[in-house]
Structure 1
Amino acid sequence: MTISTLHPKTGEPLPPAIPAATLIIYRDAPHGHQSELLMVVRAQSMAFAGGAAVFPGGKVDDADVDFASHIIKQQSLILPTDEIAARLAAIRETLEETGLALGIVGAHDPHQVAEARAMAHEAISFADICAKMRWQPDILSLTPWARWRPPLLEKRVFDTRFYLINAGNVPMEAKVDATENKSLFWGSAEQALHMADKGEIKVIFPTRRNLERLAQFDVFDAANAHALDHPVEMVMTYIDERADGKWLCIPDGHGYPVTEEHLSSAMRG
Structure 2
Amino acid sequence: MSEMPSEAPNVIPAATVVIFRHCPEGGPPQLLMVQRAKEMRFAGGAAVFPGGKIDEADRVLAARLSPDADPDVAAARIAGIRETLEETGLAIAIEQPVSVADAIAARALLLEEGELAPVLERFGWTLDLDKLVPFARWCPMREGAFDARFFLVDLGTGAVEVTVDATENTRLFWASAAEALRLADAGEIQVIFPTRRNLDRLALFATFAEARAQAEAIPVRMITPSQGERDGELCLTIPEDHGYPVTFQSMSTVRRGL
Short-chain TM bin: over 0.9
Q: Where do 1:115-264 residues align within 5 Å?
A: 115-151=105-141, 153=142, 156-241=144-229, 244-264=232-252
Q: 2:43 — aligned with what?
A: 49
Sequence identity percentage: 48
**Distance in 2 between residues matched to 1:211 and 1:205, nearest whole Å:** 10
**3-state SS of 1:16 partner:** coil
Q: Using the TM superposition, name which of 110-119 and 36-45 deviates more.
A: 110-119
Tell me: higher relative CO, structure 1 or 2? Use CA pairs within 8 A at least 6 residues apart: 2
Total equivalences in the alignment: 255
Q: Is the 8 A contact 2:23 2:158 kept in 1?
A: no
Q: Is the 8 A contact 2:62 2:75 kept in 1?
A: yes
Question: Which of 18, 22, 29 matches 2:16?
Answer: 22
Q: Where do 1:76-115 residues align within 5 Å?
A: 78-115=68-105
Any gaps of 5 or more consecutive residues in structure 2?
Answer: none
TM-score where L is the length of structure 2: 0.95
**3-state SS of 1:132 partner:** helix
**Distance in 2 between residues matched to 1:204 and 1:19, nearest whole Å:** 18
**3-state SS of 2:66 partner:** helix
**Distance in 1 between residues matched to 2:240 and 2:55, nearest whole Å:** 31
Give deviations 1:225-252, integer Å, cap 9, x for gaps. Answer: 1111111111111111467442111111
TM-score where L is the length of structure 1: 0.91
**Distance in 2 between residues matched to 1:107 and 1:61, nearest whole Å:** 26
Q: 1:9 — aligned with what?
A: none
**Distance in 1 between residues matched to 2:72 and 2:171, nearest whole Å:** 30
Structure 1 runs, 4 residues or longer, greater than 6 Å off: none
State the Cα distance separating 1:103 from its structure 2 match.
Answer: 0.8
Q: Using the TM superposition, name which of 198-207 and 142-151 deviates more.
A: 142-151
CA RMSD between the two structures: 1.5
Q: Is the 8 A contact 1:144 1:164 kept in 2?
A: yes
Any gaps of 5 or more consecutive residues in structure 1?
Answer: 7-11
Give deviations 1:140-196, integer Å, cap 9, x for gaps. Answer: 111110000112x35x31100000011011543011111100001101000000000
Establish whether residue 32 from structure 1 lines up as the match of residue 26 from structure 2: yes
**Distance in 2 between residues matched to 1:30 and 1:132, nearest whole Å:** 32
**Distance in 2 between residues matched to 1:231 and 1:170, nearest whole Å:** 30
